[in-house]
Amino acid sequence: MIRINLDVMMARRKMSLTELAERVGITLANLSVLKTGKARAIRFSTLDALCQALDCQPGDLLEHEGE
């Protein structure tokens, strides 16, 4: 299973969900789905925008967990 550590990176950057949504250009609802781990997929363009806004690498946001 892939885990999204969006909340961790947002806390490190002291960034709110609203601010990140505005910077990335996606809705607050869609960003919330990602943050809570309920997303089933993510576009590379969205991942790229998140990495740019949070100044991080994809590996900082995504983590593989064993079943």
- Residue 67's pLDDT is 73
- Residue 48's pLDDT is 97
pLDDT tens, per residue, the chain with 67 residues: 899 999 999 999 999 999 999 999 999 999 999 999 899 999 999 999 999 999 999 999 999 988 7
**Model-level pTM?**
0.91
* pLDDT tens by residue, 35-54: 998 999 999 999 999 999 99
Domain boundary assignment for the chain: 2-59
The beta strand positions in the chain, using DSSP E, are 2-4, 62-64
Question: What distance in Å separates the CA atoms of residue 56 and residue 67, rounded to the nearest whole number?
Answer: 26
Domain 2-59 has CATH 3.30.465.10: no
- Residue 11's pLDDT is 96
| Polymer length in residues for the chain | 67
Taking CA atoms, 6 is separated from 22, 40, 46, in Å, by 15, 15, 12
| Neighbouring residues of 17: CB distance < 8 A, sequence distance ≥ 6 | 10, 28, 31, 32, 35
